[in-house]
Structure 1
Amino acid sequence: MFKKLLLGLLLIALAAGAVVYFVLSGGLNKQIKNAVETYGPRVTQTDVTLEDVNLSILSGSGTLKGLNVGNPEGYQSEHIFALGQIDLKIDTSTILDQTIIIDHILIKAPAISYEKSLSSSNVKDLMNNIEAFTGPSSGPSPDPEPSTGAKKQVVIKELLIEDGTVYVGALGVGRTVTLPRIEMNNIGEGGSMTMAEVMDLVLTKLLQSIGPAIADAGDLLKEGGKAALDAASKQATQQLDDAANEAVNKVGESLKGLLGN
């Protein structure tokens, strides 16, 4: 569940950044900020804010600062997901090519919160909010739309995730622990990976570091909350079920339409 939720949340930031190469407008940065802060809350039914956007078409460089996705009501943490800053540099000579080269992506200070209540969790409640926006995931699948051509491929030369933290809480007891620094190089090189596939690979790596951090947090909590936290930790690393996965996919498709993709 955690993996697909993070993918959905990061799409709000990264899709906004990608649009810079398809919209030629002097007020682009303001438009991206407004789109995230207008569309995000509709999807999550929580506060979504983006502090600052600074993207340049000419240089291929960009920075997004202070992306915050609020927690559903009833939980201790202010945000379920907060991102200090994303710095990226794209090889502008590849923008019109089938494979886009991203020289580097630096994700600074991602902060993740996972909290368990007696009957639910903040992750589950947020996914319910997303499904309420996208509609029920059950029922027959719509007919596939005609293909408009091959999907763009992506190569990321360098990706760094640093200064990350994860807060794990249960029944009012919680602890924040530091995530290890993650470095990945030449993602997608020599193969054919879409942005969605690249992000799935990156998030798998991120979750490999979150699991031990959650376990360490359990050892540091008071004995009274440890049993509840252990149960929360197991749920945090489970794969999203088909219904929730379809809800996140719907969000991604809606974002594409909103951003003119």
Structure 2
Amino acid sequence: MRIILFVVLFIVAAFIGGIAFILFNLDAFVKEAVETVGTELTQTSVTLNETNIDPANGKASLSGLNIANPEGFETDHALALGLVSLKMDPTTVTGDVIVINEIVVDTPSVIYELGESGSNIDAIHENVMSFANKLQSQTSGSSGGETTSSSAETAPSQEASEGPKFIIENVYIRNVSTAVSLNVLGGKKLEAPSVDVHLTDIGKKEGGVLAAEAAIYIMDNLFKDVAASVTNSGAGKLIEDALGGVDLNNVEQQLQEQAGEVLGDDAIKDITKDAEGALKNLFGTGD
């Protein structure tokens, strides 16, 4: 009897110890999950400086969350979220569906970098939506049967495709600061009007969605609003003014006349290619 009692007590102690370990290291687990799934989602480097999780009181915060640029872009980052705060229903934290009352992101920074083939935001948005299609295919079971080696390489990870589901009642992204960058401006950034985003009842209709699915929905809406702000708010006119009223149909000739001796022919051709492609893409005058 004593041996049985000892074994039972040992199992209980081990179980409690395991829970304690998870709770004490919850911040580290969340940080790793955000960086792993975020990088997978955007196909760029996602880093998080610090987390502060208080499940007992239904509060959490993330600070220093940054999304780097895809290859081919040179600005410091695509998106810097700064401080993200969450309030959740603490009674749901250990359940299958966690209810988050609100997520607040205050004054995030977006650098909208334009290149010949589009913007960094467009590139990340395409990556996110591509990942969304793969995730939907995997979680819906539509890819039944054996998985091919090529699809296995690109399939969403276990961290992204499993785990608890979420209902998010409110997401507030306030005062999104957007700077427009173009190589031909020599590193100068032009400010576009700020954007506010308010999303409601994410996952409510479905009875809960995966964290990756919620992130896809939030990022999709944010990037669309940022792109609309840049293209429709007069930022294009600011770029034209910064370029000295450049004629999109005659960029190379104007640069040759104004700075040919300083820049040289090769540099002018590179700048012309960058300027024409980016500006036409921004103004919707491309092919």
TM-score of the superposed pair, with normalisation by structure 1: 0.58
Residues 9-40 of structure 1: per-residue CA shift (max 9 Å, x gap): xxxxxxxxxxxx99724244356557767998
Matched, 1:218 2:236: yes
Give the SS at the match of 2:173: strand
Q: How many residues align?
A: 204
Indicate how the Cα distance of structure 1 residues 52 and 88 shifts in structure 2: closer, same or farther if over 3 A, else same.
same
More helix by share: 2
Shift of 1:199: 3.0
Indicate how the Cα distance of structure 1 residues 209 and 43 shifts in structure 2: closer, same or farther if over 3 A, else same.
closer
Kept in 2: contact 1:218–1:230 (CA 8 A): no
Distance 2:32 2:50 in 1: 10
Give the SS at the match of 2:151: coil
Written as runs of structure 1 = structure 2, the 5 A alignment for 1:191-210 is: 191-195=206-210, 196-210=212-226
Match of 1:106 in 2: 104
- Report % sequence identity: 27
Matched, 1:183 2:198: yes
Distance 1:170 1:186 in 2: 37
Kept in 2: contact 1:113–1:167 (CA 8 A): yes
Distance 1:179 1:205 in 2: 15
- Which consecutive residues of structure 1, in runs of 5 or more, have no partner in the other structure? 1-20, 128-137, 235-261
- Which consecutive residues of structure 2, in runs of 5 or more, have no partner in the other structure? 1-18, 126-147, 247-274
Shift of 1:69: 3.4
Indicate how the Cα distance of structure 1 residues 115 and 208 shifts in structure 2: closer, same or farther if over 3 A, else same.
closer
Distance 1:99 1:167 in 2: 37
Distance 1:226 1:213 in 2: 21
Give the SS at the match of 1:163: strand
Residues 113-145 of structure 1: per-residue CA shift (max 9 Å, x gap): 232334676468889xxxxxxxxxx96424999
Match of 1:229 in 2: 279
Matching residue's letter, 2:221: K
Distance 2:73 2:220 in 1: 26
Match of 1:170 in 2: 182
Matching residue's letter, 1:158: N
2:151 to 135, 138, 141: 141
Stretch deviating more after TM superposition (149-158 or 188-197): 149-158
Matching residue's letter, 2:225: S
Indicate how the Cα distance of structure 1 residues 226 and 218 shifts in structure 2: closer, same or farther if over 3 A, else same.
farther
Give the SS at the match of 2:171: strand
Distance 1:51 1:58 in 2: 23
Residues 88-126 of structure 1: per-residue CA shift (max 9 Å, x gap): 012121133332211111112222223233467646888
Distance 2:96 2:71 in 1: 43
Indicate how the Cα distance of structure 1 residues 201 and 68 shifts in structure 2: closer, same or farther if over 3 A, else same.
closer
Give the SS at the match of 2:57: coil
Give the SS at the match of 1:78: coil
CA RMSD of aligned residues (A): 4.4
Give the SS at the match of 2:168: strand
Kept in 1: contact 2:115–2:277 (CA 8 A): no
TM-score of the superposed pair, with normalisation by structure 2: 0.54
Moved over 6 A (4+): 34-47, 124-127
Larger radius of gyration: 2
Distance 1:32 1:104 in 2: 18
